Amino acid sequence: MGWKDVVQCPPGMVTRILVLFQGYSGRYVWHCHILEHQANEMMRPYEILT
């Protein structure tokens, strides 16, 4: 019913996500559910300032 925040990314594919954060300032985190990716910058916090 609402926006999805999960994307399947098959091996060997490049996935780009474009998001408009207008009106949604705050602290967020993006991450991958493959645990080995934690060491490769795949779990990073970010902050949206408006």
Per residue in 12-33, pLDDT tens? 888 888 888 888 899 988 777 7
pLDDT value of residue 15: 84
Query: pTM score > 0.75 for this model?
Result: no
- C-beta of residue 46 within 8 angstroms of C-beta of residue 30: yes
Does the pLDDT at position 2 exceed 70?
no
Strand intervals (E) in the chain = 26-31, 43-48
Q: What range does the domain containing 29 cover?
A: 1-50
Q: Structurally, how many domains does the chain consist of?
A: 1
Residue 4 pLDDT grade (very low, low, confident, very high; cuts 50, 70, 90) = low
Looking up tokens 């949206």, which residue turns up? 48
